[in-house]
Amino acid sequence: MQKIIDRFISYVTIDTESDPNSNTTPSTFKQWDLANKLVDELKAMGMHEVTIDEHAYIMATLPSNVTHEVPTIGFVSHFDTTPDFTGAHVNPQIIQNYDGKDIVLNAEKNIILSPDYFEDLLLYKGQTLITTDGTTLLGADDKAGITEIMTAMEYLINHPEVKHGKIRVGFTPDEEIGRGAHKFDVEKFGCQWAYTMDGSQIGELEYENFNAAGAKISFKGKSVHPGYAKGKMINSMLLASQFITKLPPNEVPELTTDYEGFFHVNHLTGTLEETVLELIIRDHDKNKFEARKKLIYTIADQFNQQYLKQFGEAICEAIIKDQYYNMKEKVEPVFHIVNIVEKAMLELGITPLIKPIRGGTDGSQLSYMGLPCPNIFAGGHNFHGKYEYIPVESMIKATEVIVKIAELTARQ
């Protein structure tokens, strides 16, 4: 347990926040700090073929220790953290033998992690939790996954009695801004299939995810003195507000679950003359996903038709870019790779929670790049914010799952 804690804390205290406005890979130079540390650790523990390329993609090999032919499998995690909430100066707190009551993250700011609001906390009564100090995120997404992969590889190196085939490890930058797999060399990785260790609650096993797109809608206004504005002023901020009201009001993240898709307003900036509205569009069903994108264009066209009549010009432009697709299509034909994980969990006394991801992972893009890649729990909760926490016991179990998958793949 202490080794897991120490390793995890050594990773989360390194700031690796990514930047969607950067055009470099990695998007922030500080991601190199953890990337280089991981390379050194991989070499020190005895991994083979440890490489890091000019974009900070890390790969390493654990050679097979059996004489019969075994498929080469991989384990993948990302080392960046989300730009949605600061990951600088992370100061983890360790709560031993959690008593099921409120956890004071920050007394000065009255920030409380409470089971009255976050009911999942009660699943971990009696366990050791790692939390934030209430001012940053924790970074378990996905430094927990890295911790588990590194610990599992170290275990297999030190325990050659556990038989396994060739295993590849891959660590990526910029997953949180949707670019984690963009420059991942699947051919160089050389695996028949892989797993991302990037899920949440213990037992999660996911091979379905959202189809995803980002929409940027720009509105043009006309600035006129408010005292003489009648029939002349166009307030672009009000146009954006009207656009939002035309979206289905109940199809938002906070009112949907399971396979239900949504529109999410995640950024809005503007002045009277120009406003930019940014949305993310999500749906598991491909047809519904396409219909959601079409609705955005339809609303934009309606705005333009209205204002063309009134002012003689278009005032709204919608640009939509697909981000990733549902990996289910690529995983179902090789479903035995999911069955292996389910069997591994059951042998370890873990109840598999097979459900769709309400998001995406590197695995969703990698699956469409020719590397089928389901997602396995890493153990964290409440990602991307100050209430993030992780039970250490869940990280230990995730490590055991990796070892068991390697063992079962060689056995089969």
Q: Where are the alpha helices (DSSP H) in 13-45?
A: 31-45
Residue 167 sits at φ, ψ, to 5 deg, of: -125, 135
User: What's the rounded Cα separation, in Å, for the pair 5 and 405?
Assistant: 23
Tokens of 85: 């909430």
Paired tokens of 339: 């069955």
According to DSSP, the β-strands at 193-199 and 73-78 are: parallel
Give the C-alpha separation, 294 to 301, whole Å: 11
Name, in order, each residue with C-beta under 8 angstroms of 299's C-beta and a sequence gap of 6 or more: 243, 246, 247, 318
Q: Quickly tell me which residue has 């963009």 as its tokens.
A: 182
DSSP for 73-130, written as a single string: EEEEEE--B-TTS--TT---EEE-S--SS-EEEETTTTEEE-TTT-GGGGGGTTS-EE
Q: Which conformational region is residue 120 in: left (phi greater than 0), alpha (psi within -120 to 50 degrees), or beta? A: alpha
Backbone angles phi, psi at 197, to 5 degrees: -100, 80
What are the start-end ranges of the E strands in 173-220? 193-199, 204-206, 211-220
Decide: helix, strand or coil at residue 386.
coil
> What does the alpha-carbon distance between residue 280 and residue 214 come to, in Å, rounded to a whole number?
5
Residue positions annotated with a catalytic role: 80, 175
